[in-house]
Structure 1
C-alpha cells in the first residue's frame, strides 16, 4: 500500500526528526527471547460474519468519513479474548523519531512503565487489512491499538473511566495525532469498552509487561461534566470533501503544507492514512515525497499563500499543530 513520490527540493532540517535517544525516569526493560507463539487474539476468519450490533453511530471522535464498522460484523465480539502480554522483539523501524505537523515524537526504544489518561477513539473498515507500523495487516476485529510513542509491539490495559470496563490490547501502530487523544483502538476493543456508540471516550492507559496480571479493579464512575467537556473539545467542523489518494508523478507548482517528515517510508505512509482519516474535510491530496533520505508529507498544491494559510489554520484548530509551508516554483 506504500506509495512514494520523489521531489527535488530544498532539505529543511527544521521539520525533520533528529535521531535522538528517548528518555525515561525508569530503566528500560529489555525484552526476553520470543517464544515464537502468536499473540493471543481472535482473527476475523474464526468468526462467522452476520450483522453489526444495533447501535446509533455518531460522527466525531471515533470513525471518520468513509470509515466505520463495515456491513458485516462477526457474532461473539464479547467473547474475543484480550491480548495476552508476551515477550516480542521490538520493531526497530517503528522506534525512530519522527515529526508530525511540527511536533517531534520520540518513541520509546524499550518497554517502560507508562500510565496516562486521555481520549480514546477507534478506526475500522477503511483501514482493515492495511499495513500497520510493524508491517502486520490491521485487523479491526482483533484486540489491537495505535499509540504515538510506545515501543512497538507492546501491550497496554485500557480502562473506560466512566464505566470501569477494562481490556488488554496489543499496540501495533502509530497514532492518533489529534490533540487530546492518546490511543486509537480497534473496533472490537472499542466495542468491548462501550465506545462504539459515542465514537470516543475518556480512558486510562497503562503499559503491561509479560507476566503481569491483567486483572484490574474497576475505576469509580467519572463526573459527567468532565466527560462532556473533553468530548466537546473533539468536535470538528463538518465538510463534504475528502483528501484524494497520493498518486505517482511530479508535484505541480504551488504552495504546499508539510505535515510531517520521517526517515522511514512505512511510518510516513501510516501517518498519511491517519491524517486522511482525521482531516476528512481536505480537498487536496496528501502525498509522500521522498528525497535526501527523508519521506515528507505534503498537502496541496494551493494557488497562493493566503489559501494555504486558511487551510493551515483549520489544521491547527483541529489537531493543535501548525504545518510548515513549502513553495514549489
Structure 2
C-alpha cells in the first residue's frame, strides 16, 4: 500500500479514536466563573488542513462533511466539553481551549463561524467551529466550556439551541468598493461602533483616519447623557449582522480591536 494511503488511514483512525474518547470522564474547571467571554470574531479563513475529509466513520456511522456551509441552519440539543480535552488537538489541528468561544460539529467545514441561540432563554453566542462531534444521538453541537457558561447550559450539561452559519466571505474591505446602503432590514439599524469618546475632535480624527483607509459609511453620532455629550464613531448602517462581523474582522487587522456590533 502506498505510504500516503497508510498515513491517511493512520490519521483517520487516530482521529476517530479521539472522537470516541470525547464521551466520558469530562468536567468543568474549578476556578472559572466568567459568563462574559467575548464572542469569536468571524474571519474569512481557508479550510483547515485537517478535519475536512469528505467523510469519516465513528461507531459504525458515517458522516459526510459539507462542501459548503452557506445558508446552513439547524436545531437540536447542545452539549459541552471541558477539562479532559483542554490543550489537546482538535480535529482541525488547533489546540482545544475550553476558555475560548469554539465548538465541535459533525459535518460543517472546519473552520466555520456560527451563531448559536439558546431557544429556552434567548441567549446568543458567536463561535468558531474547529472540531468534530458530538456523537450522541440528537445532539447537534458540542460547545467549549466558556460558550456553555455564556449560553447558560454549563450546569445542566445540555440545552436546546438553534444555529445558523455566518457567511464570512460576504465582504472584504481591502478589496471591495461596496457602498453600504442606508435602508436595512427591520429589527433596528445595524452599525459597527469603533469607539465612543468624550472629545469631538478625537472622534472626528478617528473617523477621518477610517475614511482615509477607504472604509465606507463612517460617521460620528452624538448623544447626550446627564448633560454630557458622547461622540460615537460608527460604520453603517450595515445590511445584516454577517457583514457587520466581517467589518469587525477587518478593523481588528488594522489594530482597532474594541469595535462591536450595535443594533438600535
Q: TM-score range by the shorter chain?
A: 0.5 to 0.7
The equivalent position to 1:192 in structure 2, one of 116, 141, 150, is 150
Q: 1:209 aligns with which of 167, 180, 184?
A: 167
- Greater Cα radius of gyration, structure 1 or 2: 2
Deviation at 1:72, TM superposition (A): 2.0
What is the number of residues matched between the two proteins?
154
Whole-Å separation in 1 of the counterparts to 2:99 and 2:108: 22
Residue 65 of structure 1: how far off its partner (Å):
4.7
| Conserved 8 A contact 1:85-1:211 | no
Query: Do the aligned partners of 1:95 and 1:109 also contact (CA within 8 Å) in 2?
Result: no
1:113-262, aligned counterparts within 5 Å?
Answer: 113-210=71-168
TM-score, normalised by the number of residues in structure 1: 0.43
RMSD, aligned CA: 2.7
Q: Does the Cα contact within 8 Å between 2:37 and 2:150 map onto a contact in 1?
A: no
Q: Which structure's relative contact order is higher, taking Cα pairs within 8 Å and 6+ residues apart? A: 1
Q: Distance in 1 between matches of 2:108 and 2:83?
A: 24
What is the CA–CA distance in structure 2 between the aligned matches of 1:117 and 1:172, rounded to whole Å? 19
5+ residue gaps in structure 1? 1-5, 17-62, 218-329
- How far apart in 2 are the matches of 1:94 and 1:112? 18
- Whether 2:62 is the aligned partner of 1:107: answer no
Mapped partners of 1:160, 1:212: distance in 2: 26
Partner of 2:41: 84
CA distance in 2, matches of 1:190, 1:203: 11
SS of 1:190's partner is helix
Q: Mean alpha-carbon deviation: is it higher for 90-99 or for 178-187?
A: 90-99
Taking the aligned partners of 2:85 and 2:117, their CA distance within structure 1 comes to 24
Q: Which residue of structure 1 aligns with residue 27 of structure 2?
A: 68
- Could you say which residue in structure 2 is the equivalent of 1:93? 50
TM-score (norm 2): 0.54
User: Shift of the alpha carbon at 1:181?
Assistant: 0.3
Partner SS, residue 117 of structure 2: strand
Counterparts of 1:212 and 1:157, CA distance in 2:
16
Post-superposition offset of 1:66: 3.1
Native 8 Å contact 1:130 1:137 kept in 2: yes
Question: Residues 78-126 of structure 1: CA distance to partner in whole angstroms, max 9, x if unpaired?
Answer: 3321011110010243111111222211102333221111000000000
Q: Does the CA-based 8 Å contact 2:48-2:111 persist in structure 1? A: yes
